[in-house]
């Protein structure tokens, strides 16, 4: 086998990055394009001792789950990985991704992974966009997204994953790059970041630059006038790294740069840089699942609380909450939203690294008093110091929300080795058309005797059946079971 060789392969698996997996003897072959059950002619482009990477030359036989992608940029843009798979098949595949991670990485045999709860919209769901700008001496400037695993720009004028308000902004920004008066904005910009409200349709825009840029301030009002759906424009500058999308500093240049969204009756004022979920309708489904566990006031500690999305929901249900978050700007936003909802008496926020905070005596005491620990860590998951502190405190209930099945499985392995039992494993499709899946797991401390009751309360339902469109069937949620302190 050599680079450049063409071979026929049957593919049997799909990675979360969208690569199909086939085998040549003991050699795994990864290739974008083929789905499981498909056979394709592929050309080897990379050859290593244990694996090869290939490009698809021609599809020889198709899967019954293959559909025509609805975006012309699919396959070049790195934003979506599975538009060529029907939506019901995506949900089944994501359930298996979670199940396999728990089994192979977490060593959790026999854990029941529930059917994935679908997004109400399989497209037009994303309320935030970060466009890459190639300006400088480039004429005309180029806007788009990076090709997967590269810094090669794929030009974009429209994206069917974005809510309509944002898609319109993308199209307008693409056309305005040819306007002489705005040339300086495109020359110095690294990113255009826009966010829209699903509650009232308003949107805001931030221009990321290396440093504060007076040239943008001079034309900000004109740019605002050229973007009818945008309420305000900000300059985000001094990014922490070459790959950072937002800067460490922000200045409002025109209009207002906050909008309001509402989930389950809780109001959130957010900005382009906010730590706020991009698919609020799925967050509402997560809230609905948790609702039964909040039927009476609870003492809750929320680790990695971001801008307080979940803390404020818990507090709105009558619970007392402590939220811990490393980013001071997110904490300030959480505190402002607590005041907006009149919840400041029920929730408090601490700006600190989680692994350092849990070592403080006063935080350790709050963990020992807590009835529920909620944690929603970044993609890298939690860490052993934090999880060990939780285990020592013997918090009776853990609700772990994860966006990465692999790091979730690793952390569950540690917790189950330290006295916890897995209860519910419920995936949610927060990001349709992509390889990402959100999963909520409940754990109970020394509570194996109630496992049967938990399983009975959350008896699984058959997977939903509906066409690949923007609608899904309503989902009924049984009561959420927690262990009383």
469 CB neighbour count, 10 Å cutoff: 10
Q: What is the C-alpha to C-alpha distance for residues 9 and 7, in angstroms, rounded to an integer?
A: 6
CA 72 to chain centre: 23
Give the closest residue to 132 by CA, choosing from 85, 77, 91. 77
- Euclidean distance between CA atoms 277 and 217, whole angstroms: 29
Containing 236, the helix (H) or strand (E) segment is strand 230-239
Reading phi first (left if > 0) and then psi (alpha if -120 to 50, else beta), residue 426 is in: beta
Dihedral class, residue 282 (left if φ above 0, else alpha if ψ from -120 to 50, else beta): alpha
- What HEC string does 240-281 produce? CCCCCCCEEEEEEEEECCCEEEEECCEEEEECCCCCCCCCHH
The Cα 110–Cα 183 span in angstroms is 59
The answer to whether residues 312 and 334 touch, using CB atoms and an 8 Å cutoff, is yes
Given 31, 71, 159, 403, the catalytic residue: 403
What is the sign, positive or negative, of the torsion defined by CA atoms of 330, 333, 334, 335?
positive
**Helical packing angle, 87-104 and 405-416, nearest 10°:** 40
Q: What token pair was written down for 6?
A: 């063409």
Maximal CA-CA distance, the chain = 71
Concerning whether 403 is annotated as a catalytic residue, the answer is: yes
CA 429 to centroid of chain Cα atoms: 10
Run of H or E including 42? strand 39-47
**109, 409 Cβ separation under 8 angstroms:** no
416: Cα within 13 Å, side-chain hemisphere: 22
Q: Residue 39: CB partners within 8 Å, gap ≥ 6?
A: 8, 9, 10, 11, 59, 60, 61
C-alpha pair distances (Å), 245 with each of 130, 148, 277, 436: 7, 16, 16, 20
The residues that are catalytic are 403
């Amino acid at each position: 086998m050599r680079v450049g060789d063409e071979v026929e392969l049957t593919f049997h698996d799909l990675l979360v990055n969208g690569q199909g997996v086939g085998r040549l003897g003991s050699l795994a072959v990864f290739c974008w394009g083929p789905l499981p059950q498909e056979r394709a002619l592929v050309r080897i482009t990379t050859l290593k001792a244990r694996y090869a990477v290939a490009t698809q030359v021609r599809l020889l036989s198709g899967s019954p789950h293959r559909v025509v992608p609805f975006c012309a940029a699919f396959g070049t843009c790195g934003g979506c990985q599975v538009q060529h798979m029907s939506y019901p098949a995506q949900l089944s595949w994501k359930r298996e991704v979670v199940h396999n991670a728990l089994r192979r990485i977490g060593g959790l045999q026999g854990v029941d992974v529930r059917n994935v709860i679908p997004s109400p919209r399989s497209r037009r769901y994303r309320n935030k966009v970060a466009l890459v700008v190639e300006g400088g001496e480039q004429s005309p400037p180029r806007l788009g997204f990076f090709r997967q695993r590269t810094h090669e720009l794929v030009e974009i004028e429209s994206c069917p994953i974005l809510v309509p308000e944002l898609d319109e902004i993308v199209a307008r920004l693409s056309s305005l790059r040819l306007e002489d008066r705005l040339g300086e904005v495109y020359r110095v910009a690294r990113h255009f970041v826009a966010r829209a409200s699903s509650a009232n349709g308003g949107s805001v825009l931030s221009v990321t630059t290396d440093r504060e840029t007076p040239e943008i301030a001079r034309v900000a009002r004109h740019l605002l006038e050229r973007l009818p759906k945008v309420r305000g424009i900000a300059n985000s500058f001094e990014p922490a790294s070459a790959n950072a999308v937002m800067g460490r500093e922000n200045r409002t240049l025109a209009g207002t740069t906050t909008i309001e969204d509402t989930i389950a009756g809780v109001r959130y004022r957010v900005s382009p840089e906010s730590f706020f979920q991009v698919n609020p309708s799925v967050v509402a489904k997560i809230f609905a699942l948790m609702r039964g566990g909040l039927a009476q006031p609870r003492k809750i500690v929320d680790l990695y609380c971001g801008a307080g999305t979940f803390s404020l929901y818990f507090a709105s249900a009558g619970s007392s909450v402590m939220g811990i978050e490393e980013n001071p700007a997110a904490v300030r936003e959480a505190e402002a939203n607590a005041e907006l909802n009149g919840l400041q008496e029920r929730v408090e926020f601490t700006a600190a690294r989680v692994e350092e905070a849990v070592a403080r005596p006063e935080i350790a005491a709050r963990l020992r008093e807590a009835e529920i620990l909620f944690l929603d860590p970044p993609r890298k998951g939690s860490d052993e110091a934090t999880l060990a502190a939780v285990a020592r405190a013997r918090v009776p209930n853990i609700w772990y929300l994860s966006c990465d099945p692999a790091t979730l499985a690793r952390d569950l392995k540690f917790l189950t080795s330290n006295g916890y039992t897995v209860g519910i494993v419920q995936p949610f499709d927060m990001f349709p058309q992509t390889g990402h899946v959100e999963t909520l797991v409940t754990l109970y401390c020394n509570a194996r005797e109630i496992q049967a009751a938990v399983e009975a309360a959350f008896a699984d339902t058959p997977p939903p059946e509906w066409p690949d469109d923007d609608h899904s069937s309503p989902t009924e949620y049984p009561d959420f079971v927690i262990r009383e302190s």
